[in-house]
Amino acid sequence: MIGNKNKATFLLGLVSVGFFISYPFQHTFIGGLVAGGCGAAMIGGLADWFAVSALFRRPLGIPFRTGIVPRNREKIFQSLVYMVENQLLMKENIKSRLNEYDVASTLVQIMLEHGGKNIVKRMAYSFIRDMITQVKPQQLGNMIDEIIKNTIYKTKVALYMIDGAEWLIKNRYDDKVINFLIAQCLLLVDHQQTKTLFAEYSLAVRQRYEQGKTRRTWFNKWLNLSTEEVGTIGQQALRATLTAMQDDQHAKRQQLKSWLQQWLVAKRTDSVFQGKLEKWVHQVLNQIDVAQYVTHYIAEFRAGALMNNRQTVKWLELSINQFDIIMADFAQDEQNRGQFNQVVKSMLSQWLDNYHQEIGKMVMESLNKFTDVMLVEFIESKVGNDLQMIRINGSVVGGLVGMVLYIMTFWL
């Protein structure tokens, strides 16, 4: 297919030949009409050829007002960046479109219907396999130690701990904690040492009560209770109370839960308590060599995994099965999907606020890769064929105008 550039060049050559052939006969009407039309067409074609060529290069080596595109490349790039950043990909438009999307439903659809789960599983398998074979326990342990400590030092841990405790209560994990503590206390109550502690405590109470007074001494003898019997009674009473508190509706258990809730509410605004808790957490953290524990655990896990690949595969299957359960629950839980949408959109919106200007930078970096020659070739490949129509139109319109003018002036 012949392009417009070849057509324009052929037309310019045709009218030029026509002008030179008809020029000797310009004194006749036909010869003058052809010469006037071809001459005007030739001038119009040459002028438009110069104009189109001057956009990209220096026609005939003329430097004045030529090579417009290469000479103004920075202005062109800045305009393109401004258009992309502030018109095509304007921050408000992106946020508006983002709010229209249901990110959670899209994620569920990709995971469950388009093989996303299998991709995640393969990635997880490859990651775990590479981690086991290539990880350096000491290096990873030191890195985790630094991340954990720096994060805790820079974070208001007290508020997060209070939030965590409130979340546990809200989701009824407090009952599980209380049941666990009661079970452990029952084990301690049945221990012989507990009975001895009750006996020693009762003896101390009796001695403080008597204080050398004869009547109180005779009263205690009249009760005729040995310290061992008192210890047994106390042990049995405490066991009975703890056993009764295993009932979720027990009054003392409810009082304990109510007190705990009120205590957490009060501590949320207690800056003194929060400061002490922060200080205690930092002291405990300073005494713990996290890197040593993590390194030891990673080294043991790595050695076991390398020796028994089946164990690694089994552990991976358990993780993947748990992932399947989480995705199935997520797909059915509209509330969790709504919360997920809010979190993701909030994070993306904040990221957009902080890094929207990076769009312009990326566009500019891509544009700066173009040399002057590449830029000219790129623009010509997109609009060059249409620009050549200017040359064709110049020759055609010029020729028509030339003939009209000749006819209008022929009889003057």
**Domain ranges, ordered by start, for the chain:** 4-71+370-410, 103-132+289-332, 135-171+249-287, 181-246
b/e 57-77 (16+ beta carbons within 10 angstroms → b) = eebeeeeeebbebbeebeebb
Averaged pLDDT, 349-365: 82
Running DSSP on this structure, what letter comes out for residue 1? -
Q: 378 CB contacts (<8 Å, ≥6 apart)? A: 370
**Tally of CB atoms within 10 A around 312:** 19
Maximum pairwise Cα distance, the chain:
159
350 by Cβ neighbours in 10 Å (0-12 / 13-18 / 19+) ranks as exposed
- The angle subtended at Cα 70 by Cα 64 and Cα 74, nearest 5°, is 115
Averaged pLDDT, 187-207: 65
Q: 12 CB contacts (<8 Å, ≥6 apart)? A: 42, 45, 46, 49, 391, 395
**Pick from 64, 16, 22: nearest CA to 44:** 16
CA dihedral 106, 112, 115, 116 (to 10 degrees): 50
Q: Residue type at 352? A: L
Q: Name the least confident of 24-38, 99-113, 118-132.
A: 118-132
Q: Is the CA virtual torsion 389, 394, 397, 399 positive or negative?
A: negative
Under the banding of pLDDT at 50, 70 and 90, the label for residue 221 is very low
Q: How far is CA 62 from the centre of its chain?
A: 54
Quote the tokens at residue 362. 């990326």
Rounded to an integer, what distance in angstroms lies between the CA atom of residue 201 and that of residue 198?
A: 5
**Pick from 167, 146, 199: nearest CA to 264:** 167
Listed ranges 106-110, 207-211, 272-276, 326-330; the one with the highest mean pLDDT: 272-276
Under the banding of pLDDT at 50, 70 and 90, the label for residue 412 is low
Averaged pLDDT, 1-22: 86
Rounded to an integer, what distance in angstroms lies between the CA atom of residue 348 and that of residue 68?
A: 41
Rounded to an integer, what distance in angstroms lies between the CA atom of residue 294 and that of residue 298?
A: 6
Could you tell me what percent of the chain has a pLDDT over 90? 8
To the nearest whole number, what is the mean pLDDT of the chain?
79
Rounded to an integer, what distance in angstroms lies between the CA atom of residue 379 and that of residue 48?
A: 18
> What pTM does this model have?
0.44
pLDDT attached to residue 14: 93
Quote the tokens at residue 326. 């989480």
Asked if residue 358 has pLDDT above 90, the reply is no
